[in-house]
């Protein structure tokens, strides 16, 4: 396979995967594109002649998918050079390093090769979505929102089991196509039809998983109580600032909230605004909020509504260094702060800058983008408690913005005996439908993994409620100023298998990969090359023409020319 053909296959896979992920045309993605996306890549891997080319193909694929699906990162104003440019280069490099594993995985016998490919792809997505530079976007699981029975397995394996299944199906489809094109002997009777066993195993596995999914979907659940919420979508421009404009927007938000409360059939238990509704820290600027907006101050509004509110606002962590955290406040109707939670998982280069305490790094970013500060990370996993209108206490966890994209972090929050996840977000700075729906597609699986309701209250979208089996029960259209009064059934706290053991599946794959690598290192016969039956490229030439072509190729080799020169000198 030529270099051009290899990278055309990579480009084809990148485009298909980007179409499978939520985009401007397919808002909730396409499972079909997700399932077939890796077929060209797998085929190219099978006939890649060198380890370097395999690694380059994988690195290029990851960079292309990042550019095509996360193009909206370029709208992060002064930081676009880092959020999109530097991240794409970084993924090209990291993908190249990781791609070496695929070269060895494709050497396995046919009965293992598709499983190795799927396991390694799952490991990559786990690696990409973990750590302080984690970015779990551009994943195969984001293409599967429509496969409701299949994705119920997330409460056991997390999204990693879904990723593994989709990659496995792609790999097997590629093997079927190769066999149908007679590039391999996968269905050859003399060779024992080696493709039948993995196909039969995968079919049985899919039947079992879909059966489990149908059982979970139709399982009867008895709610502990109904939580009545008012979700307010402000739809303000996050790039426009100013004290007067902020308090004008705040008053408009109060009006939207009051309208929804008035239209609600019952008195709400809680008002939920978004991540940056109170842009000036509530703990430091309470005097402002007691007086402003002029038409009706924020504190007076709360007292008149007589309902507690959950809203985002900066929280001072270190007064000496002027370090703030991105936080949410639970505020009582009388204006007192009941509890706060500070964001733990910060987005690299968007919310914090690595090594920013170093003077050289500070000077560099000051000169490049005009500032060199960021949020201070939170340190405590916690659930907050408030009393509903019926007198019962409700415990909830409040992951902030992109935190609802991280499975283990949400599991740790849920394990504080939370009854519901309430996410406050403001990523409308992107001003694209792709960004809003992609964030939803990543966060969506938290409801299934933890079997708990997920509520998302955002600035511009996607504001919605998701039940424990993944049904979107209520939502607001993107980029509209509106409010939603909803009644959300809550259930007694229960720890799912995934909440208990978290990322056990990719950890298992990692252990298998390391053991296999060690076995391969000390016993090369452990990973024999797959038997591939292909017609020799020169088979159709005559014997004389074939010898002439082979001789011409040999003369291009330096070692051959040197050897001929030595023979000639010896004869002379």
pLDDT digits (tens, 9 = 90+) for 142-196: 999 999 999 999 999 999 999 999 999 999 999 999 888 766 655 555 555 778 8
User: pLDDT value at position 534?
Assistant: 47
- Assign 361 a pLDDT band (cuts: 50, 70, 90): low
pTM of the model: 0.87
User: pLDDT value at position 530?
Assistant: 46
| CB 329 within 8 Å of CB 310 | yes
List phi, psi (to 5°) of 470. 95, 15
Kindly state the average pLDDT of the residues 105-120.
Answer: 92
- Assign 307 a pLDDT band (cuts: 50, 70, 90): very high
| CB 369 within 8 Å of CB 358 | no
| CB 16 within 8 Å of CB 64 | no
Compute the distance between CA of residue 389 and CA of residue 317 in angstroms, rounded to an integer.
32
| List of residues 6+ apart from 280 with CB closer than 8 A | 246, 288, 313, 314
Q: Of 125, 175, 275, 436, which residue is the catalytic one? A: 275
Within 10 angstroms of residue 346's Cβ, the number of other Cβ atoms is: 22
State yes or no: is 275 an active-site residue.
yes
Of residues 14 and 49, which shows the higher confidence score?
14
Compute the distance between CA of residue 455 and CA of residue 466 in angstroms, rounded to an integer.
6
- Assign 349 a pLDDT band (cuts: 50, 70, 90): low
Q: Which of 43-52, 127-136, 438-447, 466-475 has the lowest mean pLDDT?
A: 127-136
Of 335, 309, 339, 336, the C-alpha closest to 327 is 339
Q: 391-418 pLDDT, tens per residue?
A: 999 999 999 999 999 999 999 999 999 9
Q: Of 12, 125, 175, 343, which residue is the catalytic one? A: 343
Of residues 436 and 529, which shows the higher confidence score?
436
Helices (H), 306-406: 359-369
Checking if the pLDDT of 314 tops 80, the result is yes
Q: What is the mean pLDDT of the chain?
A: 88
State yes or no: is 343 an active-site residue.
yes
Of residues 237 and 268, which shows the higher confidence score?
268
Checking if the pLDDT of 215 tops 60, the result is yes
User: pLDDT value at position 81?
Assistant: 66
Kindly state the average pLDDT of the residues 360-364.
Answer: 59
User: pLDDT value at position 533?
Assistant: 46
Q: Residues 409, 413, 418, 423: is their CA dihedral positive or negative?
A: negative
Helical (H) or strand (E) element with 422: strand 420-425
Place of tokens 């509903």: 388
Checking if the pLDDT of 370 tops 60, the result is no
Q: 271-303 pLDDT, tens per residue?
A: 999 998 999 999 988 888 999 899 999 999 999
Q: Of 12, 46, 348, 401, which residue is the catalytic one? A: 401
Compute the distance between CA of residue 99 and CA of residue 59 in angstroms, rounded to an integer.
7
Kindly state the average pLDDT of the residues 211-225.
Answer: 94
């Amino acid at each position: 396979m030529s270099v051009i053909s290899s990278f055309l296959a990579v480009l084809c896979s990148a485009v298909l995967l980007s179409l499978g992920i939520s985009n401007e045309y397919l808002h909730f993605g396409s499972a079909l594109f997700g399932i077939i996306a890796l077929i060209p890549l797998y085929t190219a891997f099978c006939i890649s002649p060198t380890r370097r080319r395999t690694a380059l193909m994988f690195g290029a694929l990851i960079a292309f998918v990042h550019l095509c699906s996360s193009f909206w990162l370029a709208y992060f104003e002064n930081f676009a050079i880092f959020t999109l440019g530097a991240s794409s280069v970084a993924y090209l490099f990291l993908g190249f390093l990781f791609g070496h594993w695929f070269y060895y995985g494709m050497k396995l016998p046919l009965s293992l090769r598709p499983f190795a490919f799927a396991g390694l792809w799952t490991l990559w997505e786990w690696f990409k979505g973990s750590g302080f530079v984690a970015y779990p976007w551009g994943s195969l699981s984001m293409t599967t929102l429509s496969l409701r029975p299949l994705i119920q397995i997330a409460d056991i394996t997390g999204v990693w089991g879904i990723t593994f299944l989709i990659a496995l199906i792609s790999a097997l489809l590629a093997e079927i196509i190769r066999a149908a094109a007679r590039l391999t002997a996968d269905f050859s009777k003399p060779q024992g039809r080696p493709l039948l066993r993995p196909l039969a195993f995968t079919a049985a596995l899919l039947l079992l998983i879909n059966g489990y999914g149908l059982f979970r979907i139709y399982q009867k659940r008895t709610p502990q109580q109904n939580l009545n919420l008012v979700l307010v979508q402000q739809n303000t421009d996050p790039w426009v600032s100013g004290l007067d404009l902020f308090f004008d927007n705040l008053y408009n938000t109060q009006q939207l909230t009051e309208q929804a409360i008035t239209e609600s059939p019952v008195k709400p238990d809680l008002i939920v605004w978004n991540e940056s509704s109170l842009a000036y820290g509530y703990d430091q600027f309470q005097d402002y909020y007691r007086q402003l907006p002029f038409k009706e101050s924020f504190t007076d509004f709360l007292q008149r509504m007589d309902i507690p509110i959950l809203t985002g606002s900066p929280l001072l962590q270190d007064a000496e260094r002027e370090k703030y955290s991105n936080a949410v406040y639970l505020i009582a109707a009388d204006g007192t702060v009941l509890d706060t939670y500070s964001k733990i998982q910060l987005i690299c280069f968007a919310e914090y800058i690595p090594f920013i305490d170093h003077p050289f790094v500070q000077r560099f970013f000051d000169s490049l983008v005009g500032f060199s500060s960021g949020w201070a990370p939170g340190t405590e996993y916690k659930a907050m408690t408030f009393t509903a209108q019926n007198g019962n206490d409700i415990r909830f966890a409040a992951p902030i913005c992109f935190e609802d994209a991280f499975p283990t972090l949400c599991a740790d929050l849920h394990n504080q005996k939370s009854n519901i996840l309430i996410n406050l977000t403001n990523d409308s700075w992107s001003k694209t439908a792709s960004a809003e729906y992609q964030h939803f597609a990543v966060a969506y699986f938290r409801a299934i993994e933890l079997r708990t309701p997920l509520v998302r209250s955002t600035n511009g979208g996607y504001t919605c409620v998701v039940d424990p089996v993944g049904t979107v029960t209520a939502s607001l259209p993107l980029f509209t100023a509106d409010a939603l009064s909803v009644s959300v059934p809550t259930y007694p706290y229960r720890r799912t298998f995934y909440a208990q053991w978290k990322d056990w599946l990719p950890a298992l794959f990692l252990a298998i990969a390391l053991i296999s690598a060690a076995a391969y290192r000390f016993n090369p016969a452990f990973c024999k090359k797959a038997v591939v039956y292909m017609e020799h490229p020169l088979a159709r030439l005559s014997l004389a023409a074939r010898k002439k072509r082979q001789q011409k190729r040999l003369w291009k080799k330096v070692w051959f020319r040197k050897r001929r020169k030595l023979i000639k000198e010896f004869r002379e």
